[in-house]
Structure 1
Amino acid sequence: MKPNKLIYTLLLFLLIYSCDNNSTTEDVLPDEEQQDNTDDGPDNNDDPDQDNGNAPTYEKAGEVEILNSDLIDQNPVLINDAGNNLVYLMNKKGEIIFDWNINNGNLGNDCFIESNGKLLAMLESEETLIALGGQGGKIELLDKEGNVEWQFTYSSEDYILHHDAERMPNGNVLLMVWEKLSASNAIAIGYKQEIDIYPDAIIEVDPTNNEIVWEWHMWDHLVQDYDENLPYYGSISENPHLIDINYNQLENGDVSHANGIEYDATNDIIYLSVNFYHEIWAIDHSTTTEEASSHEGGNYNMGGDLIYRFGNPEAYGDFESKRMFNNNHHPNLIEDNTMFVFGNGSDQLQSTVFEIEIPETFKNQNNEFNEPSILWSFTDPELFSPKVSGAVTLPNGNILITEGDFGVWEVTRDKEVVWKFSGDGFYWRTYSYTENELISNDILNPN
């Protein structure tokens, strides 16, 4: 072969090889990688009206699953992550768009944004002498920079705030308390074990002076059938408005473990979620403190006795009616006569959100006393948290469900799951706020 033909042949070979090689590389790139190669790096668009990559970037709180984007409520949600001691606003992409500095103690569970944009937060006090799951001891009102505008501490070896709080229309705050009853006093009132116990109580605090202006104590409304020679002796089935002190026999003395409080301002009623009785208790707040310690007085003339209870008929000696809860959290009034309750479902390893119709008239007869109508419910084989959790409504009518050990679900009234969030936290509750609310309170900047 002549030299000029040899050179021509080599050049032709190299050209063909080069074309084949480039074509193969393009073909094996997935579409998304090709798109990434176009979008990554500096913005080469010289149009001055374009953003040029200056849009804010946010930290991801966890993973988001979009199941039906057309039906998702796009308003931000407030996440209370007690596992990581974080309180933050998150968009539906799972991005943290605002967070609070919690500098004065670990979360004691509930936190929520009030109408003025302040964060009301339950926190653990510096010294916790009663250590039960959900203990707190302190409540604070924080501005968006984390500055404390109000603080109330109620923590000693004899009592401690825990779990939840409720702001009332008059500005006062309802708080949940565990009170220590010594082993000798517990035995003296008919408790079966000689151990310290911690019954629940409720106090109402005036934040202008931190005075307790009203209180209710579980131990004023007991019944026991253990020893006829001791106080409170009687039959729970004949006294369903009272509380059987021996219903639970736990070694740590946490006999009731209330975990959520809700206030019905229209009817002046407090609803208390009582986890270890598997019930919701209704208490007449129209009483004076003196009446609340008795069995008379108030709008229902029952003093501080339970004017209504539901969720677990066995707790008041009714073994015929159907049981609704096996552990429960977050009594959340939607309207005056309807309420969401998160049923943890510890017996079935499957949780259920119930929407319940509260009866207009409370009955005091056994076997007719409780179990309201269920208007709506949602469950799923994958929905289960034995602790914490709750449900709230969204502006578009969907239901936002907090699954404490997992994250958050958004479901429609037709029970379609449209959105999920999951992370590595322990999620107490999730609340929803409109973007306009957050902008008007200067928490978020307008777009």
Structure 2
Amino acid sequence: MSYKYFIPIKNSITLLFLIHSFTSCTSYDNSDIIVETPVQIDTTNQTGEENNFTPIGTIEILNIDKIDNNFILVNDAGANRVYIMNKHAKLLYEWSFSNNIGNDVYLLSNGNLLASLEADEPKIPLGGKGGKIQIIEPDNTTIWEFIYSSEGGETHHDVQMLPNGNIIAMVWERINSAIAISEGFMLEEDIYPESIIEINPSTNEIVWEWNSMDHIIQDYDQTKANYGVISENPNLINLNYTPQNEILPGVKGDIMHANAIAYDKVNDVIFLSINAYSEVWVIDHSTTTEEAKVHSGGNYGKGGDLIYRFGNPNTYQNPKGTRLFHNNHFPNLLEDNNQGKLLIFSNGNDIKQSTVYELELPSTYSLQTNFNNEPTVTWSFTDPNLYSGKVSGAVPLENGNILITEGDFGFWEVTRENEVVWKFNTEGFFWRGYSYSKNSPEIKLLGL
């Protein structure tokens, strides 16, 4: 792999001298140097560090003065690799795993990893399959493991640790075709709707659970008890939305395909990214498991019904809202001064164009019929070259920039003024990238 550097011609310095100055302090061939938009750089030490390493990918430095200088934890699901690199594409730390990664892996504040992995023999082999969750110490010692993998259900994609130390995970529940039809599903096939479980790692007990099938509605079979008018029930989930959706004609049972989970500790609610519906569901976590099965109870009085949803009002036949998402990944809830906002990646499968949105959520979660329930867009970024039909996401950086993961490319760093200042590319399939300050506790505990 090689570096690409974008170098200015400044004042009376000739291009030949500039290239000579740069190559004299590096080991890279000058055929990798590209002259582009001027930026001010120190040609005696372009990267700010010794260059006695082999970069793990190609970087483009577009404006060195505006690049965040912290580390990235890379989830490369295609290569089953999780590693930390710096902005010079230098590999700093890498873990090994007992099983293939089931997508999400991230650092906890104590330096351990929380990892969603594939079970030894996944029973529901859909995209993002999992079945095993582990906590792993920096020396690759597994200190906790939870297996949830059977013909009846399997964890998948994403996990998150709650402030109380418990862990929430998404589960595909297998519903056979006969039961699906009895619930008003319009196709004769097994389905895999979404559930959420909360695990206590001290006991391995499931201490809370939510199941989407307790909160469905359909307007296909009027003989069923859950038959109703979709537009009049925005808190319920249209069981047949995906089979009727022209974008995903062959659903093959994975009718919802949740791909991310997030927890809002201020409001005690869970965000679930539903890729097949091109929207995010918000669920009240303050309920008991029994309340989560019904339509009342909890802080919001709705039990396990959706207290809010956004991204695609077509899912509940709402003519007032404007659709934002075309498949989506990683509802990343922001904190501190940005509390109440989130970043999210809209893949844009049907339009072949991806967009990152920053959204300001409503101060009170509610859903009304025939009303624009969508959040406010406070920032967005797209580019003709930004497109990944799968995975991907965005995180804020310490300097105010945004780090974007483009799943089949690598990473972009962009400013709030939508200036691209840095890019990284290598062969891989990148689930997410997480940014960690060089001075953060978890990085120091790794000895970096």
Please confirm whether the aligned pair reaches a TM-score higher than 0.5, indicating the same fold.
yes
The answer to whether residue 292 in structure 2 is matched with residue 289 in structure 1 is no
Cα 1:56/1:172, change in 2 over 3 Å: farther
Question: Aligned match of 1:181 in 165, 175, 178?
Answer: 175
The answer to whether residue 195 in structure 2 is matched with residue 192 in structure 1 is no
What is the TM-score of this pair, normalised by structure 1? 0.87
Match of 2:32 in 1: none
Question: Aligned match of 2:80 in 78, 85, 95?
Answer: 85
Separation in 2 of the partners of 1:38 and 1:401?
A: 30
Match of 1:280 in 2: 280
Q: Secondary structure of 1:152's partner? A: strand
Task: Note the C-alpha offset of 1:35.
Answer: 8.1
Cα 1:424/1:389, change in 2 over 3 Å: same
Unaligned runs of 5+ in 1: 1-28, 41-53
Task: Note the C-alpha offset of 1:320.
Answer: 4.1
Aligned residues: 403
Task: Note the C-alpha offset of 1:351.
Answer: 0.7
Q: Deviations over 1:164-216 (max 9, x none)?
A: 01110000001010000001000111001111000000000000111000000
Match of 1:123 in 2: 117
Report which of the two structures shows the higher radius of gyration computed on alpha carbons. 1
The answer to whether residue 428 in structure 2 is matched with residue 425 in structure 1 is yes
Cα 1:187/1:309, change in 2 over 3 Å: same
Q: Secondary structure of 1:219's partner? A: helix
Task: Note the C-alpha offset of 1:362.
Answer: 2.8
Q: Partner letter of residue 362 of structure 2?
A: P
Separation in 2 of the partners of 1:308 and 1:427?
A: 29
Match of 1:410 in 2: 413
Asked if 2 retains the 8 angstrom alpha-carbon contact of 1:98 and 1:444, the reply is no
Asked if 2 retains the 8 angstrom alpha-carbon contact of 1:311 and 1:370, the reply is no
Q: Secondary structure of 1:308's partner? A: strand
Match of 1:316 in 2: 316
Task: Note the C-alpha offset of 1:56.
Answer: 8.5
Q: Deviations over 1:19-51 (max 9, x none)?
A: xxxxxxxxxx998579868988xxxxxxxxxxx
Question: Aligned match of 2:133 in 139, 156, 159?
Answer: 139
Cα 1:171/1:228, change in 2 over 3 Å: same
Unaligned runs of 5+ in 2: 1-15, 28-48, 244-249
Task: Note the C-alpha offset of 1:413.
Answer: 0.9
Match of 2:222 in 1: 228
Q: Secondary structure of 2:290's partner? A: helix
Question: Aligned match of 2:57 in 62, 81, 90?
Answer: 62
Percent identity, aligned pairs only, is: 53
Question: Aligned match of 2:385 in 377, 382, 387?
Answer: 382
The answer to whether residue 301 in structure 2 is matched with residue 301 in structure 1 is yes
Q: Secondary structure of 2:351's partner? A: coil
The answer to whether residue 347 in structure 2 is matched with residue 352 in structure 1 is no
Asked if 1 retains the 8 angstrom alpha-carbon contact of 2:133 and 2:146, the reply is yes
Asked if 1 retains the 8 angstrom alpha-carbon contact of 2:220 and 2:227, the reply is yes
Task: Note the C-alpha offset of 1:122.
Answer: 0.8
Asked if 2 retains the 8 angstrom alpha-carbon contact of 1:165 and 1:174, the reply is yes
Q: Partner letter of residue 113 of structure 1?
A: L
Question: Aligned match of 2:237 in 233, 243, 250?
Answer: 243
Separation in 2 of the partners of 1:440 and 1:248?
A: 42
Q: Secondary structure of 1:184's partner? A: helix
Question: Aligned match of 2:161 in 155, 159, 167?
Answer: 167
The answer to whether residue 374 in structure 2 is matched with residue 371 in structure 1 is yes
Q: Deviations over 1:205-242 (max 9, x none)?
A: 00011100000000000001111111311011010100
Separation in 2 of the partners of 1:326 and 1:65?
A: 29
Q: Secondary structure of 1:289's partner? A: coil
Asked if 1 retains the 8 angstrom alpha-carbon contact of 2:321 and 2:372, the reply is no
Asked if 2 retains the 8 angstrom alpha-carbon contact of 1:67 and 1:419, the reply is yes
Match of 2:446 in 1: 443
Q: Secondary structure of 1:436's partner? A: coil
The answer to whether residue 332 in structure 2 is matched with residue 337 in structure 1 is no
Separation in 1 of the partners of 2:154 and 2:415?
A: 39
Cα 1:136/1:305, change in 2 over 3 Å: same
Asked if 2 retains the 8 angstrom alpha-carbon contact of 1:393 and 1:399, the reply is yes
Task: Note the C-alpha offset of 1:363.
Answer: 3.2
Asked if 1 retains the 8 angstrom alpha-carbon contact of 2:438 and 2:444, the reply is no
Task: Note the C-alpha offset of 1:331.
Answer: 0.4
Separation in 2 of the partners of 1:380 and 1:34?
A: 33
Separation in 2 of the partners of 1:30 and 1:183?
A: 71
Separation in 1 of the partners of 2:139 and 2:204?
A: 23
Separation in 1 of the partners of 2:357 and 2:442?
A: 32
Q: Partner letter of residue 332 of structure 2?
A: N
RMSD over aligned CA atoms reads 2.0
Cα 1:294/1:86, change in 2 over 3 Å: same
Asked if 1 retains the 8 angstrom alpha-carbon contact of 2:192 and 2:253, the reply is yes
Cα 1:37/1:350, change in 2 over 3 Å: closer
Match of 2:4 in 1: none
Separation in 1 of the partners of 2:279 and 2:191?
A: 19
